[in-house]
Chains A and B, each alone.
Chain A
Amino acid sequence: MRIVFKTSYDADIRLFKHGAQAFWYGLLFVIAIALPFLINEFLIGEATLVLIWAICGMGLMLLVGQTGQASLGHAAFMAVGAYSNVLYQEHFSLPFIVSFPLSGLTAGVAGALVALPTTKLHGIYLAIATLAISVLAEDLIVIMEPLTGGVGGLFAPDIEIFGFTFNRYGNPIELYWLVLFITFIVIYLYRNILRAPIGRAFAAVRDSEVSAKAMGINVARTKMVAFAISCFITGLGGALMGHFATVFTHETFNLIMSITLLLIIVIGGLGTIHGAFFGAIVFVLLPLIISIGRDAFANMAGLGSISIPGLESGVFGILLIGFILFEPMGIYGRWLKIRTYFELFPFYRKDMFKRQKSYLKTERTQ
């Protein structure tokens, strides 16, 4: 265990706590870059998908994990990102390098507009309002057929940057590097938001709206900014998802996807960037693991191939219930506990990470 002596205020908000930490993250980044040389092309495709989900997850994490606002409707903003990205490219023939950030901005503005009326709401009402937005978005995409292609969906062209094209099937490795680069930028942005005043305002609103107000934070505005930034990031993820899926319809970004996104960040660990990545890894690799396990089981039992539709979501649900009951801090929380155990060995105590229970904050005034 390393004790960091902080001798200045800046030391408190440094990106890395100490050199060793910077080294490990640097190593992780190098491995991420070198990944295409280590695994085959199919797995690189999966890795790209993990990164895209992680970007979307980070978007939602900023809202749920950092600001404490539940959203069950983030697939709607992924859809805004994906559709606007393709529309900018096709109707205004903008290059990807312009249309991509623009699509994020569009999603961000959409998020801010949605946040305007809904920031008054909290807790359960906000969850329901965003749920309704997710359902509405699906129907709106169908209604706005001339623009969105309706039920037929849209076809996303190859990403083209300065004459170099990226295609999921043509050159998956280059696409992976591109997504990795975007992921890196998003992480950098995310980290910097958190240590800026607005990030601290987010945490204050999450922990207690009342005391945040007392500290002079404009709660409604902070929530709106959180919504906007969160939707910006999720919109970027959605635009990438559109390119990755090549064809997407209203059903690509349905309610189940909104909920899945929330489940991903809960499994990963709320309130941390790591959580978004762990959750995305679990979610993307789960179908793989299940199919491998199923085949192994089928071989053992001497059956042919068994197929159980909906098994993935069932297993995902059970995993999630297990996590909420037994490890509410998610995979990253478990990792922290294990690491602390070894760092402090043999002085780790059982209740070191025990959470304070907050008793029933009622909304009623009785």
Chain B
Amino acid sequence: MDIVQLIVSGLANGCVYGLIALGFVLIYKATEAVNFAQGDFMMLGAFITLGFTNADHMDLPFWLSVTMAIAIMGVLGYLLDFLVLRRMFGQSQVAVVILTIALGFVIRFIAGAIWGHEPQSLESPISGIELRFGGIVLGMDEVWIIIITLVLTGLLYLFFARAKLGIAMQASSQNQLAAYYMGIPVKRIHSMIWALSGIVATIAGILFASKGSIDPSAGLLGIKAFAAAVIGGFGSLPGALLGGLIVGLVEPFAARYMPAGYSQIFPYLILIVMLVVRPHGILSQIQTKKV
């Protein structure tokens, strides 16, 4: 009984990590830039929704707020690439890493200035309800998180497999030059990927904030999502989700069966072992360049 609860809560956490990791991987695959601010994107998306819908802020209907937050974060992602990241075209990866870290600092500052540094909880229809089957008590929020993640993954899969835009995105991530020759506007596609990644981050943030509470430093959760992305394979979308689930599952079990203090180092230990043993992850699609 205990184990089922641990698994479900682990899966729910893992879904959030997986969604953030999905955001990294989307951007990495398309532009070879790594967005270290993805965790902060998640936090910002959650706070925008919270600012719209919570009773002590604007008190708008929940679904309207979600739609608006998703739209705002999509536009923000697009503009970020259009105004900032595009200037970095052709510069080294490390410069982009530092830029996105700085971006994370700024986002954290803005969120703290607007919504304060106290942890707050999103008033969403899925939080705070418990489901009981026999002896098992499951949080409604956790079940919903898993379902929503599954649906979102399915939608993304369909988008990349069927939609014209999705196929164009795949093409430009595989070979920018060839995609450009085929008439795909590579730069605009990059901006759209950033928008998509902002949207995915917002959904992750909404799920995260309705499960617990959120504060401006929640963006540091992005590091766990990094572990997830690397474990699963940095260049693979299903890998990101898989890695997220692994990290999510390992955490509650380590917390349950290991002495206090040891549990939180497990995701990073797995990450380092993965980097040493199989640097490109479980579902790797990348081979090292050889001379």
Per the bound structure, the CA–CA distance linking A133 and B269 in Å amounts to 9
Residues of A in contact, count (CB < 8 Å): 52
Q: How far is the CB of B37 from chain A (nearest CB, A)?
A: 10
Name the B residues within 8 Å of A132 (CB-CB).
223, 226-227, 268, 271-272, 275
Q: Is there contact, CB below 8 Å, between A310 and B216?
A: yes
Which residues of chain A in 265-322 are interfacial with respect to chain B, using CB atoms and an 8 Å cutoff? 266, 308-311, 313-314, 316-318, 320-321
Nearest residue (CB) in A for B174 is A366
Q: Is there contact, CB below 8 Å, between A143 and B84?
A: no
Q: Is there contact, CB below 8 Å, between A363 and B105?
A: no
**Which residue, A64, A210, A266, A358, has most C-beta atoms of chain B within 10 A?**
A266
Known: A308-B113, A313-B109. A124 touches B275 (CB 8 A): no
Name the B residues within 8 Å of A364 (CB-CB).
235, 286-287, 289
Q: Interface of chain A, helix or strand or loop or mixed?
A: helix
Q: How far is the CB of B223 from chain A (nearest CB, A)?
A: 6
Q: Is there contact, CB below 8 Å, between A121 and B275?
A: yes
Known: A364-B235, A366-B174. A317 touches B105 (CB 8 A): yes
Q: How far is the CB of B97 from chain A (nearest CB, A)?
A: 6
Q: Is there contact, CB below 8 Å, between A321 and B99?
A: yes
| Contact partner, A309, options B84, B117, B290, Cβ 8 Å | B117
Q: Interface of chain B, helix or strand or loop or mixed?
A: helix
Q: Which of B47-55, B70-78, B88-96, B143-151 is found at the contact surface with chain A?
A: B88-96
Q: Is there contact, CB below 8 Å, between B98 and A263?
A: yes
Name the A residues within 8 Å of B93 (CB-CB).
123-124
Q: How far is the CB of A266 from chain B (nearest CB, A)?
A: 5
Nearest residue (CB) in A for B226 is A128
Q: Is there contact, CB below 8 Å, between B108 and A139?
A: no
Which residues of chain A in 309-366 are interfacial with respect to chain B, using CB atoms and an 8 Å cutoff? 309-311, 313-314, 316-318, 320-321, 324-325, 328, 357-360, 362-366
Known: A127-B97, A364-B235. A313 touches B90 (CB 8 A): no
Name the B residues within 8 Å of A64 (CB-CB).
94
Q: Is there contact, CB below 8 Å, between A124 and B110?
A: no
Q: Is there contact, CB below 8 Å, between B223 and A135?
A: yes
Name the A residues within 8 Å of B235 (CB-CB).
364
B230 contacts the other chain (CB 8 A): yes
Q: Is there contact, CB below 8 Å, between B230 and A125?
A: yes
Per the bound structure, the CA–CA distance linking A123 and B28 in Å amounts to 13
Name the A residues within 8 Å of B91 (CB-CB).
328, 357-358
Q: Is there contact, CB below 8 Å, between A314 and B261?
A: no
Nearest residue (CB) in A for B270 is A132
A231 contacts the other chain (CB 8 A): no
Interface CB pairs A-B, < 8 A, 14? A118-B276, A120-B276, A124-B28, A132-B226, A132-B275, A143-B262, A255-B223, A310-B109, A310-B117, A311-B109, A314-B113, A317-B104, A320-B102, A320-B105
Residues on A lying within 8 angstroms of B by beta carbon are 64, 68, 70, 117-118, 120-121, 123-125, 127-129, 131-133, 135-136, 139-140, 142-143, 210, 213, 255, 259, 262-263, 266, 308-311, 313-314, 316-318, 320-321, 324-325, 328, 357-360, 362-366
